[in-house]
Amino acid sequence: MASGLDRHFLGCLYFVISIVGLSLHGLVCYIIISRKEFRQHMAYIIMFNAGLFDSTILISGLNASAMTLLNSKFIVEQLFGGIQNSSWMVTISIDLLLALNRLDVICLNLKLHSTTKHRIAAVCLSAQWLYWLGLLVCHLLKDSGVRYSLNDLFFHITENPVSQVIATIELYTTGPFCCVVLVIYLIIGVSMLWKRHMHFKNSISIKTSSQEIRILGQAVIMFSFVFGIVLCWHLGGYILPASVWSGRGIYISFLLRAGMGPVMVLVFNKRFRLTTEDIIRGNEVSSVVKVTSVALSSARKSNSQRN
């Protein structure tokens, strides 16, 4: 049975991680939508969708926080558990999309029209949402689902045939996806080293922009976190101590990973940081008002000249 101290500590920790992560996700998603330079960038489109899935994980974290602090299970326990696990499985496949995008930009540079690339991305992202919806329906079946343990203070997959089938699907999808992403990043790393070698040897210019390299660094760090969680989740019985805190640590890492996406964006992208500072200071709102007032005044002048 969990002690009162553990319950209050973990409940507050889940709450803080979820609230901070959701706030940052809202900020970054707003910037991506409102700024054309980000809205038309393929990598940021993928990150935007990943942020939506991560936000659902953090909302489920708020539910876990409430159940922990109140020491009571809610009726929607199965719903939030299903949303959380479905989003987790989909974010790993989105990591694969981002890795393929980095492979194209940095190594392959496929000669496809930007419209074609955006259509391919739209089809892939639509498939991700359908995949998420199908997983969620499976988790909401009567004899299935993810349940929250008030003793261990983290979610468990229920011990029944349907849930075990879902767990098997998770194992045989997340595992191969992670392996493929790892191979792609190794290929990108070797390619970059080779280009650097040829650059110094033959004075060949490297055309990849620093922004694309920073996005790659951000993606690699995020994937490393995901890969570690996958290893601990599936091999925890072999590599982690036989303690309830091992499961709690995995769940804390799980929530942290869901909230670290916008942190990585702000750390690796100066434009995002400057835009965030403008929003906090209110400069962006004032600039919009100023531009609007200038446009209105010019329109009035043109109307008066016509009259």
Tokens of 99: 């890795």
* Parallel, antiparallel or unpaired: strands 154-157 and 146-149: antiparallel
Sequence-distant (6+) residues with CB within 8 A of 294 are none
How does pLDDT run across 154-165, given as a tens digit for each residue?
Answer: 888 877 777 788
Task: Let me know how long the chain is.
Answer: 307
Residue type, 214: R
Digit-coded pLDDT (tens) for 3-21: 889 999 999 999 999 999 9
Give pLDDT, residue 53.
Answer: 96
Distance CA 85, CA 167 (A): 10
Say how far apart CA 153 and CA 56 lie, in whole Å.
19
- Residue 26 confidence (pLDDT): 94
> Kindly report the CA angle at 52 between 118 and 156, in degrees rounded to 5?
130
What's the pLDDT score for residue 160? 79
Q: What is the H or E stretch that residue 283 is in? A: helix 283-306
Q: How far apart are CA 128 and CA 173, in angstroms?
A: 13
Structural element, H or E, at residue 158: none
304 has a pLDDT exceeding 60 = no
The string over 8-31, giving b where at least 16 C-beta atoms fall within 10 Å of a residue's C-beta and e elsewhere, is eebbebbbebbeebbebbebbbeb
Average pLDDT, the chain: 84
CA dist., res. 120 & res. 116, Å (int): 6
What pLDDT shows up at residue 157?
81
pLDDT of residue 202: 59
* Global pTM value: 0.85
Where are the chain's structural domains?
Answer: 4-284
Domain 4-284 sits in which CATH superfamily? Answer: Rhodopsin 7-helix transmembrane proteins (1.20.1070.10)
Confidence (pLDDT) at 287: 43
State residue 284's pLDDT score: 53
What would the pLDDT profile of 262-280 be if each residue is shown by its tens digit?
999 999 888 888 888 888 7
